Every structure is written in structure tokens, then in C-alpha cells.
Structure 1
Amino acid sequence: MLAAGQSKRFNGIKQLAKVNGQPMLLHTLTQLTEHGDLTRELCEFNLVLGANAAHILPYVPDYVSPCIFPQWQQGMGATIAFGVQKANSESSHLLVTLADQVAITREQVTTMLHHCAANPENIIAARYKGILGAPVIFPRTYFSLLSELDADTGARKILQQYSASVVAIDLPNAQFDIDTQLELQQWHQSMGQDQKN
């Protein structure tokens, strides 16, 4: 899971913003893993931190392994490359998720894992609003390409370049990617929640 950014547009430490009464990072991890249950299906679950890591670390549950990326300012592409370097050498695939995708559920990721098992040579990517993006599962054959990313464009250019090898999973929940205070407020309103909860 990527959670290394400074969140300039958010005007605060986004990873610690309250969602359902808990820090966003913890909410997303809980939602995604069902309190760590999903991690039993993976050989490891790494959480890549960068900006504000010292503030965020106390909230990281013990079922994930925090990895701090010192050059987080280089952007998402470089952060993914760092995450690939930290991946277990025996990993056959890499699941990339984002800490600010607050609506992704364990069930949805499990569906993606099932598609991965059925199509082990293919990239499995979420599709929403007509685009492909995270969560996404890359086979090891793409690790070298991922490790060369160095810009702020993330892995989307790989998804575009190898679109014929992508199995797209319609995942409307993936569109909830919180970047600003307003987006967080709108998400709370769409869920019928009080922003302070």
C-alpha cells in the first residue's frame, strides 16, 4: 500500500484525517484487509511511508510492515519502484493499493485475486470512470518496468502500454481517491456521515 505522499492539496496529514472515526490510513487498511485477515492470503503486506512517517507510524497496525521511502518527494512512480525493491524475492505478483482509496473492500480485492489466479500472466487492474488504475496486480514479469518508474505518473503508463495484457475489473469504489478536504467532506456526505465522526 502506498502512503508516502505529502498531500499538499489536502492541507494536512491526509493519512491521519478522520474517516469513520479513525485515521484514514487505518480505515483503509481495516476496510481492505478486514483487520488483517487478507494478509494471510499474501506472502507479505508492505506499507510504504515517506512524508510525515514519524507521525503516521504509531497508527500502523502490526499486521503490516512499514517501509520508509526517504526520497518520497520524487513522486508516485519512484514510490512504486521503491515498493518493488522491498517486495519479497519469492513474490509472483505485486498488489498495489492506495491509502486514500477509502471505499475499497476486502471482497473487491479478493475478486481481483481470483482473477489473478485464473490469469497469472495478465495485469489485473481496477476500471472506473473509463480509466484503468489502482488497485492493480502486476505479475513478476513487470517488476523490472515498475522498478524503473521515477516520475509522478505512477504505473498508469505501463497499464496503457500493455493494455492488451490487462484484465479490467469494473470497480466504481476505486474512484473515491481523497486528495482534498473538500473531497473528504463530499465522501462523508455521500456516505450519509457527519464529517466529525
Structure 2
Amino acid sequence: MNVATIILAAGASTRLGGELKQLLTYNGKSLVRRITEEALLLQAGSAVVVVLGANHERIAPELADLPVTMPINADWSEGLASSLRMGLASLDAESIDAFLVLLTDQPYVTVDLLRQLIATQQQTGKGIVACRYAEPSHLGVPALFNARYKSIFMDLKGDTGARKLIQQFTADCAEVPFPLAAVDLDTQEDVAKWREAEG
């Protein structure tokens, strides 16, 4: 199974008061490098694409030595949809069976989780496999999508991401429990709580 990975790293981190979430560090590595290295460990046979946008000149050097594609989304301010479209446009759609969608600000995503998403797709035959977290109920990324969903992603607009498709196609969606996906780092308060928990 040939699985590509799209990592969305184009946002401006406007709610972080000057810090870039992509460059926050965890265990001595920036979050963008850490998630990219986990994706590369997957060795699923296809590309890893890191979509950059705002502050790309500061973020790209973090990944300069890694075998990834880094398209720069000049329309990043449109929202998630533009980065998803750019990431998919960077792939050779004919050669992939599925693609993963990842964010940089979920620090506990590992290659083992990504393998579990792929294994669940193979076991269930579902076109989407999403993570369940934030009780009582939330399905979201990291998520795996069959390549047939590419055309639907290419029609997305605005600040609409993978979650909308997951909600729209629940009948074709399997799930993997991953409570730690609820840790995301959008605000200074989120980062402070995370750093306190990490000690």
C-alpha cells in the first residue's frame, strides 16, 4: 500500500504571541521536524510533503536535510483548505493508494499511530480512518484517506480541513482511539499547560 503524507505547517500561529508553533520544541526537537521524522520512519513507499506558508523562511531550514517536498502556500491566509489542495497537488496522484493528513501541533503523534491508521484501513476496507479523542466524541486528524477522496479535497474552500470530510463521510470512516490528539497548541495557554505537564 503506497501511502503519502501531507503535513500542514503553513499557519501563522497568530494566537501564540510571537512564537511559532512549528518551532516549539519537544525533547530537543522542533515540532515540525519531529512530526516530519515520524512520517519518514513510516517508509510507506511514497512522498512526505510539508506545506509551508507564513514564516516559511524560518521553518524550512528545520527540514533542509530531510528528503521531503516543501511547497510554499502563498494563499495560506485563506485557511486549511488551500494548504490541503497544495499538498495534494504536489503528489503523483496516480501512484498513491492513500494519504495521511497531519498537523505540526499534536506533539504525541508517533509512527506507531500512523502504522495503526494504515493497518485499520487494510483491516476494515474503509476509505477514511480517523483518530477519536476529546470525549464525549470527536473524530479528527491524524487521519488517513483513500486516494479517491483527493478530488473532494481539491474542492474545499476557506478554513475547512479534513474534519469536515470525516464528518461528511462517517459511513466510510473507521476510527482509532488516540486521546493524546486532544493536546494541540493553538494558544499561549495551551503551550503553558503542555509545558507544565511535561515538567
Partner of 2:152: 145
Partner of 2:74: 70
Distance in 1, matches of 2:58 and 2:126, equals: 39
Deviations 1:79-122 (A, max 9, x none): 11221111222111110000111111111111111112223442
Partner of 2:58: 55
1:130-141 aligned within 5 A: 130-141=137-148
- Given candidates 3, 9, 12, the residue that maps to 2:15 is 9
TM-score, normalization by structure 2? 0.88
Q: Contact 1:74–1:151 (CA<8 Å) still a contact in 2?
A: yes
Q: Aligned pair 1:115/2:120, yes or no?
A: yes
Shift of 1:165: 0.7
- Given candidates 11, 22, 32, the residue that maps to 1:25 is 32
Distance in 2, matches of 1:20 and 1:163, equals: 36
Partner of 2:190: 183
Identity %: 30
Q: Aligned pair 1:166/2:173, yes or no?
A: yes
In the alignment of these two chains, the number of paired residues is 188
Q: Contact 2:117–2:129 (CA<8 Å) still a contact in 1?
A: yes
Shift of 1:155: 2.0
Shift of 1:64: 2.2
Distance 1:14 1:69, change over 3 A: same
Runs of 4+ in 1 over 6 A off after TM superposition: none
Distance in 2, matches of 1:166 and 1:42, equals: 23
SS, match of residue 124 in structure 1: strand
Q: Give the unaligned 5+ runs of structure 2.
A: 1-6
Q: Contact 1:20–1:27 (CA<8 Å) still a contact in 2?
A: no
Q: Give the unaligned 5+ runs of structure 1.
A: none
> What is the aligned-residue RMSD (CA, Å)?
1.5
- Which residue identity lines up with residue 7 of structure 1 in the other structure? S
Q: Aligned pair 1:103/2:143, yes or no?
A: no
